């Protein structure tokens, strides 16, 4: 929890105080990897939008399949809520 550690910076008797970590995710990784893990990166957003358009009949289901392949989305991946 990087923000919490930053709150005590003023009370540390040293100039070399470095805070490490990633806020908001509870995991330490790059933002890009975290967005992919939690299925909120551009590829997942595009596929979600296309899926809804396909359900309405506005685009062919094949467009969704192509987007899944293009963005290399694993359709068998465990829901991040349970991972």
The pLDDT tens digits of the residues spanning 42-73 come to 999 999 999 999 988 999 999 999 999 999 99
Predicted confidence band at 27 (pLDDT cuts at 50, 70, 90)? low
Q: Between residues 4 and 64, which one has the greater pLDDT?
A: 64
pLDDT of residue 2 exceeding 60: no
**Cβ neighbours of residue 28 under 8 Å, at least 6 residues apart?**
20, 21, 22
Give the model's pLDDT for residue 3.
Answer: 67
Q: The whole model's pTM is what?
A: 0.65
Q: What span, in angstroms and rounded, lies between the C-alpha atoms of 54 and 7?
A: 48
């Amino acid at each position: 929890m990087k923000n919490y550690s930053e709150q005590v910076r003023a009370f540390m008797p040293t100039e070399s105080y470095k805070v490490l970590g990633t806020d908001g995710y509870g995991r330490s990784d790059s933002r890009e990897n975290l967005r992919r893990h939690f299925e909120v990166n551009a590829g997942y957003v595009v596929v979600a939008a296309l899926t809804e358009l396909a359900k309405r009949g506005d685009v062919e289901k094949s467009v969704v399949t192509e987007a899944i392949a293009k963005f290399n989305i694993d359709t068998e991946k465990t829901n991040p809520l349970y991972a």
